[in-house]
Amino acid sequence: MVDLTKFDPTLNVALLGAAQEAINRALQYAPHTQAKLAQLEGQSVQATISEPDFTVTILLGKTLELRSVYEDKVNASIEGPLREYLAAAAAEDPAIGLINGNLKIRGDSRLMQSLQGVLSELDIDWEAPIAEVLGDVAGHQIGKALRGLFAWGKHSRSSLERQLSEFIIEEARLSPSKLELEDFYRDVRKLQQNIDRVEARVKRLVRQRAG
Amino acid sequence: MSEQSKTHFGYQEVDVDDKAGLVAGVFHSVASRYDLMNDLMSGGIHRLWKRFTIELSGVRKGHSVLDIAGGTGDLAGKFAEIVGAEGRVVLADINESMLNVGRDKLLDQGKVDPLSYAQADAQYLPFADNSFDCVTIAFGLRNVTDKDLALRSMLRVLKPGGRLLVLEFSKPTNDLLSKAYDAYSFNVLPKLGQLIAGDADSYQYLAESIRMHPDQETLKEMMLEAGFEQCEFFNMTGGIVALHRGLKPW
């Protein structure tokens, strides 16, 4: 919870206001997501970030409302340091990253699952806002080009990741492969077990000698 | 003339009976350009202050809200969206010109249903006891002649447990900010007023009235004396503005 007595809300309110405006504008071009969100009308999720301290409450509905202060009970809450949120956002599927990461999630798990579904299906129709400005023909052409660009970007990112990992592991030998690592971990575990056994044996011998 | 019958109008001392008329003159003059001037004067930050006021109001669907000195309807419009058709929002202002500007703006935005309008004096609110879940007054209290009387009137119309929110210019908490703010208010602000609204005097009054308004602690004391409880205030933008909140006891 925000310590209201020490909190100058101007900046938070400005950031959240701008974010709310941007999100709601983008949602207009994702009608499927907007319809799903409309089904969650009246429910609320609070995200608390520690290091640095920041709290936002999201009131769900056809349009989202982001609040810096919300004193009523929320349906679900997420809590954790900023790096965990960033890790979740950088995950291949942010929604799964959110659930499986090290963030503390409390409250209505069904609501969180619904939100996970909404996030993973998010698909913004870039063609619509362009067509509004430039007309249908140009909008369609540019939208097509943009979709191609995004798909190419996604493909090249995964292809680049694969090639980079091959180079690091196989060519430059900067990092061991997954199999080598598993072998190494198995050896470490075996060594640990042997040490435990020796320790137990030494203790037993010491006791026998003392007895 | 006795001292009790004098009050402040900016830095001038005027008869109590004259203040309302003088304030009315100021707002008749600035009403048509009020929104634009607010944006220019505060760099748009007044929208953030109002947004925070709404967050702290705790207003929900179905609630009944009174926005006093509601002027151009920023708060009332937002409250109307929150309370929905089953709620009630009254936009009240003592000044006919401001009320007209506010009503036209909200009608133009298509906001009709839970809204009603009242030309009312904050000191003598024409509403039944225990009528509202929330009463707000944003940038209005400093223009009221008898602030104690107005606070008691607001307490009366609130339901038990209801909240009063007073958003008002206050005293900056930092000396440097205070000096910069003074320089801006007395040098830049009247010139902006002259340029945009063609009226430097009214904006000179606005700057002076802000300085004469009680500081954070004094206003909190006044709210407690009027009968509110759990009174607290939140400084915004270094104390240039403060939001006071108090609850009507059960």
* Angstrom distance (rounded) from CA A98 to CA A89: 8
What's the whole-number mean pLDDT along residues A49-74? 88
Alpha carbon distance B105, B72 (integer Å): 7
Structure tokens of A75?
């349906």
| B49–A8 C-beta distance less than 8 A | no
Q: Does A3 touch chain B (CB under 8 A)?
A: no
More confident residue, A96 or B211: B211
CA distance B41 to A179: 66
Q: Is the pLDDT of residue A3 over 70?
A: no
Please tell me which residue, A107 or B228, carries the higher pLDDT value: B228
What is the DSSP secondary-structure string of B8-35? Answer: EETTEEEEHHHHHHHHHHHHHHHGGGHH
Q: What span, in angstroms and rounded, lies between the C-alpha atoms of B92 and B75?
A: 11
Q: Between these two residues, A203 and B12, which has the higher pLDDT value?
A: A203
**Mean of the pLDDT values across residues A168-178?**
77
Residue B76: HSE in the Cβ half-sphere, 13 Å Cα cutoff: 32
Chain B residues whose CB is inside 8 A of the A17 CB are 47-48, 51
What per-residue confidence (pLDDT) applies to A94? 62
| CB-CB under 8 Å, B48 with A72 | no
Identify the pLDDT of residue B107.
92
Who contacts B107 (Cβ-Cβ below 8 Å, separation ≥6)?
Answer: none
The H-assigned helical ranges of A48-108 are 82-90, 94-100
Decide the pairing of beta strands B115-119 and A44-50: unpaired
Residue A24: list chain B partners with CB under 8 A. none
Instruction: Give me the pLDDT at residue A57, please.
Output: 93
For the cut 60, the answer to whether the pLDDT of residue A6 exceeds it is no
Label the pairing between strands A104-107 and B132-138. Answer: unpaired
Q: What is the pLDDT of residue B145?
A: 86
Contact call for A10 and B55, based on CB within 8 A: no
Q: Which residues pair with B164 in a beta bridge?
A: B135, B246
Which portions of chain B are predicted below pLDDT 50? Answer: 1-3
B179 CB contacts (<8 Å, ≥6 apart)? Answer: none
Give the Cα separation of A78 and A47 in Å (integer): 5
| Alpha carbons A142 and B150: distance in angstroms, whole number | 60
In 3D space, the residue among B214, B208, B49, B61 whose CA is nearest the CA of residue B136 turns out to be: B49
Residue B104 CA, distance from chain mean position: 19
Three-class secondary structure assignment of A104-121? EEEECHHHHHHHHHHHHC
Which H/E stretch holds residue A3?
none
pLDDT digits (tens, 9 = 90+) for B211-248: 888 999 999 999 999 999 999 999 988 888 999 999 99
Cβ contact, residue pair B52, A70, below 8 Å: no
| pLDDT, position A1 | 46
Mean pLDDT of A43-71: 88
Alpha-carbon gap, residue B48 to B54, rounded angstroms: 10
What number is the ipTM of this complex? 0.73
pLDDT per residue as tens digits for the range A160-169: 777 777 777 7
Residues B84 and B50: beta-carbon distance below 8 Å: no
Nearest to A10 among B60, B232, B236 (CB): B236
CB-CB neighbours of A49 under 10 Å: 18
Measure the CA–CA gap between B203 and B100, rounded to whole angstroms.
21
Task: Look at residue A168 in the predicted model and tell me its pLDDT.
Answer: 78
Q: In which band, very low, low, confident or very high, does the pLDDT at A98 lie, cut at 50, 70 and 90?
A: low
What six digits make up the tokens of B84?
Answer: 């929905």
Q: Inspect the interface and report whether the beta carbons of B235 and A17 lie closer than 8 Å.
A: no
CB pairs under 8 A between A and B: 40
Enumerate domains of chain B plus CATH numbers. 3-173+204-247 (3.40.50.150)
Residue A81 is predicted with a pLDDT of 86
Pick among A3, A5, A8 to test the B interface (most B CBs inside 10 A) = A8
Mutation for testing the A interface, residue in B42, B48, B50, B86 having most A CBs under 10 Å: B48
Nearest residue to A1 (alpha-carbon basis) of A39, A53, A52, A38: A53
Contact status of A64 with chain B (Cβ, < 8 Å): no
pLDDT number for residue A97: 67
Nearest by CB to B237, which of A10, A70, A71? A10
DSSP-assigned letter for residue B110 = T
Q: Is B144 helix (H, G, I), strand (E, B) or coil?
A: coil
Cβ–Cβ < 8 Å for B123, B144: yes
> d(Cα B82, Cα B9) in Å, to the nearest integer?
36
Confidence band, pLDDT 50/70/90 cuts, at residue A7 = low
Reading the block at residue A114, the tokens are 């619904």
- Measured CB to CB, residues of chain B less than 8 Å from chain A are 45, 47-49, 51-52, 55-56, 58, 60, 232, 234-238
- Cis before B160 (ω within 30): no
Q: Which two tokens stand for residue B116?
A: 């009603």
Q: If pLDDT is split at 50, 70 and 90, which confidence band does A139 have?
A: confident
How many other CB atoms are found less than 10 A from the CB of residue B69?
25
> What is the C-alpha separation between B200 and B176, in angstroms, rounded?
26
